[in-house]
Amino acid sequence: MSAVISAQNLHKSYAGQEVVNGVNITINKGECYGLLGPNGAGKTTTLRLMLGLIDPDGGELKLLDHTVPRHAREARLRVGVVPQMDNLDPDFSVAENLLVYGRYFGMKDSEIEARISALLEFANLTHKKDVKISTLSGGMKRRLTLARALVNDPEIIFLDEPTTGLDPQARHLIWQRLRELTAQGKTLLLTTHFMDEAERLCHRLAILDQGRMIAEDTPRALIARHIEPQVVEVFGERVTQWAQQHAAQYAQRFEVSGETAFCYVEDAQQLLAHLRGHGELRYLHRPANLEDVFLKLTGREMRE
């Protein structure tokens, strides 16, 4: 496996505050790699550093064999970016957006036009080719942004929160397309707040918090290493009282958040039997997931 992105001991601070603090990441060709973290964890800054849009305060960065930021321009010729906020050109039609964007890569108009119909098909936007951007739904805009990021047939695609703000149908379609890209051998680097998204799509992922990488592995390995395999969520008005009296007895670990007690267990049978005797409490038994790992490692307090 060959590394296409590598960051060693990456540092960046703003006004004395370390936003990225000693991050090491190596991403191999063909991988889908996820960056998870609460707001302000340094995900977007890490992406911007890797693209050479901002200069690091310290560390070594390589993108497709080019030293970044010094040779970021050459590297970006072979990279596509789906930004967090939509920045399609509102004055242009769908096809014009692709044409104009391709020109920034130094592509000839004929070269771009030859790609447009395939890109629109990929984005399910063939029927919208000549309409204005303002008439597109949020999901369509995201798909067009993804198609735009592919105009130069990039080897690596950076995606900053690609499905934020989309409804479930639109999100599933984006996921499907991202899996197709991985199947084609493209390397994907994405940030997300959605744990199910990371769990479904990413081969490996890193959890960032306050500028540091606090965990990195495959989704399964992260769950296996950091958390008990089963979770029982117990709800009800008197759940706090119940938890104080009984939870420790049945669960390896528990947390109360609002009106829910999260009980992390190796084996749930005894706890479930106990709960069946407490009709006033409702409960949900499920396997542990990435969100449990995330909340355990980054805490439940709000980050604002």
Partner 1 sequence: MPRLSLRFVPIWRRHFLVWKKVAATSILGHLADPVIYMLGLGYGLGSLLPQMEGTSYLLFLAGGTVCYSTMNSASFEALYSGFSRMHEQRTWDAILNTPVTLDDVVLAEMLWSASKSLMAGVAVLLVIWLLGLSHTPLSLWTIPLALLVGLCFASIGLIMTALAPSYDFFMYYFTLVITPMMLLCGVFFPVTQLPPVLQTASAILPLSHAVDIARPLLNDALPPHAVQHVAVLLVYTMAGFYVSLVLFRRRLSR
Distance CA 221, CA 65 (A): 29
Decide whether 92 or 122 has the Cβ nearer to partner 1: 92
Decide whether 72 or 227 has the Cβ nearer to partner 1: 72
CB of 80 to partner 1, least distance (A): 8
CB of 302 to partner 1, least distance (A): 24
Decide whether 55 or 267 has the Cβ nearer to partner 1: 55
CB of 101 to partner 1, least distance (A): 7
**Residue 238 CB burial class (10 angstroms; 0-12, 13-18, ≥19):** exposed
CB of 304 to partner 1, least distance (A): 19
Decide whether 85 or 183 has the Cβ nearer to partner 1: 85
End-to-end CA distance of the chain: 39
Distance CA 82, CA 86 (A): 8
**Residue 183 CB burial class (10 angstroms; 0-12, 13-18, ≥19):** exposed
Task: Tell me how many degrees the CA angle 251-256-258 measures, rounded to the nearest 5.
Answer: 150
CB of 260 to partner 1, least distance (A): 38
CB of 104 to partner 1, least distance (A): 4
Quickly tell me which residue has 């984005």 as its tokens.
123
Decide whether 92 or 175 has the Cβ nearer to partner 1: 92
Give the footprint of partner 1 on this chain (CB under 8 A).
14, 51, 53-55, 73-74, 76-77, 81, 83, 85, 87-92, 96, 100-101, 103-106, 152
Decide whether 29 or 103 has the Cβ nearer to partner 1: 103
Residue 132: count other Cβ atoms within 10 Å of its Cβ.
13
Decide whether 108 or 282 has the Cβ nearer to partner 1: 108
CB of 238 to partner 1, least distance (A): 49
For 299, left (φ over 0), alpha (ψ -120 to 50), or beta? left
Nearest CA-CA partner of 25 in 153, 145, 152, 158: 158
Decide whether 53 or 256 has the Cβ nearer to partner 1: 53
